[in-house]
């Protein structure tokens, strides 16, 4: 159970690179490391996308990312429509993710229904990197994808982009077993949603529920009163996993912090015996 909790948190960290800010940082790194090319070089680079040499095609894709202009998007879209091998297709989708241009929304939407799971996952990741009003609804469609890994990645992406309009569908996805929705719910839900989320205690893996609580507890826009309620609920559950979770949360407080919340966390930890791996609600561990 503890491993499940840690795995979910690590997955959330890995998937967080889908945010627009991360896309901009990737473009900056690519620009710093790549040859100096500009939009003037596009007529020379674009024809190389049709090369029979895969290395030449990959190099051309990378150079288009360095150019970083909306005019490169049609060339990458044509490449994707040309039916090249899986490796080239994946690289082109990753390039669109790095560019994070609104002009690529249409072609990326097409690839969210691609036959290959890895292509669909990359298309959704690329959409999540784009700042556009259409993105949230497109990602929400991915919560119904036939592949579990796509559904999980999309749930995390919705949390990362701050898609508060998706909270209800994320709860429904969680009901259907998309466990990554717990993290997104914790990032997006308002204080009223905490009670709804707490209903999963004893119904879902404790580690999964804790991954959502972790997000609620670390948010500045959630009141101390609401956080106290979470800590009290976890005190009722008890067990070694809860003790470790609260101990990790306690380390986020400064030494000078004298808040009621910090004191409640300390008191709850003291009430849970060390080494107790039990869990008292619903019998789920």
Decide: 63 and 34 in contact? Cβ < 8 Å. Answer: yes
Q: Which residues contact 245 (CB under 8 A, 6 or more apart)?
A: 5, 210, 213, 214, 234
> pLDDT tens, 173-208?
999 999 999 999 999 999 999 999 999 999 999 999
- The pTM of this model reads 0.83
> pLDDT tens, 61-113?
999 999 999 999 999 999 999 999 999 999 999 999 999 999 999 999 999 99
Name the residue ranges covered by the structural domains of the chain.
13-132, 190-285
3-state secondary structure of 177: coil
pLDDT of residue 6: 46
For the domain spanning 13-132, the CATH number is 1.25.10.10
Which structure tokens are listed for 171? 């709860």
Which structure tokens are listed for 191? 């204080």
Burial class (CB in 10 A: 0-12, 13-18, 19+), 285: middle
> pLDDT tens, 200-257?
999 999 999 999 999 999 999 999 999 999 999 999 998 999 999 999 999 999 999 9
Q: Which residues contact 33 (CB under 8 A, 6 or more apart)?
A: none
Fill in the DSSP letter of residue 202.
T
Among 122-136, 151-165, 174-188, 261-275, the range scoring the smallest mean pLDDT is 261-275
Q: Three-state SS string across the chain, please?
A: CHHHHHHHHHHHHHHHHHCHHHHHHHHHHHHHHCCCCCHHHHHHHHHHHHCCCHHHHHHHHHHHHHHCCHHHHHHHHHHHHCCCCHHHHHHHHHHHHHHCCHHHHHHHHHHCCCCCHHHHHHHHHHHHCCCCCCHHHHHHHHCCCCCHHHHHHHHHHHHHCCCHHHHHHHHHHHHCCCCCHHHHHHHHCCHHHHHHHHCCECCECHHHHHHHHHHHHCCCCCCHHHHHHHHHHHHHHCCHHHHHHHHHHHCCCCCCCCCHHHHHHHHHHHHCCCCCCCCCCCCCC
Handedness of CA 90, 92, 93, 98 (dihedral sign): positive
């Amino acid at each position: 159970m503890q491993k499940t909790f840690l795995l979910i948190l690590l997955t959330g960290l890995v998937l967080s690179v889908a945010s627009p800010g991360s896309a901009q940082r990737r473009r900056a790194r690519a620009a710093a490391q790549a040859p100096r090319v500009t939009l003037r070089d596009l007529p020379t680079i674009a024809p190389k996308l049709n090369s029979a040499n895969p290395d030449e095609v990959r190099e051309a894709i990378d150079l288009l990312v360095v150019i970083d202009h909306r005019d490169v998007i049609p060339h990458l879209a044509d490449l994707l429509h040309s039916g090249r091998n899986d490796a080239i297709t994946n690289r082109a989708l990753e390039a669109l993710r790095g560019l994070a241009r609104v002009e690529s929304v249409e072609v990326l939407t097409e690839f969210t229904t691609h036959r290959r799971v890895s292509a669909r996952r990359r298309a959704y990741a690329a959409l999540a990197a784009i700042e556009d009003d259409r993105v949230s609804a497109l990602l929400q469609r991915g919560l119904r994808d036939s592949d579990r890994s796509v559904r999980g990645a999309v749930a995390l992406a919705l949390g990362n982009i701050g898609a508060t309009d998706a909270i209800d569908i994320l709860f429904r996805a969680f009901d259907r077993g998309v466990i990554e929705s717990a993290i997104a719910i914790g990032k997006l839900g308002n204080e009223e949603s905490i009670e709804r989320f707490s209903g999963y205690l004893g119904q879902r893996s404790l580690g999964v529920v804790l991954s959502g609580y972790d997000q609620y507890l670390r948010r500045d826009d959630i009141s101390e009163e609401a956080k106290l309620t979470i800590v009290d609920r976890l005190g009722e559950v008890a067990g070694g996993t809860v003790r470790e979770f609260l101990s990790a949360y306690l380390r986020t407080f400064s030494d000078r912090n004298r808040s009621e919340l910090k004191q409640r966390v300390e008191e709850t930890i003291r009430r849970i015996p060390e080494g107790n791996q039990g869990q008292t609600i619903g019998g789920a561990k």
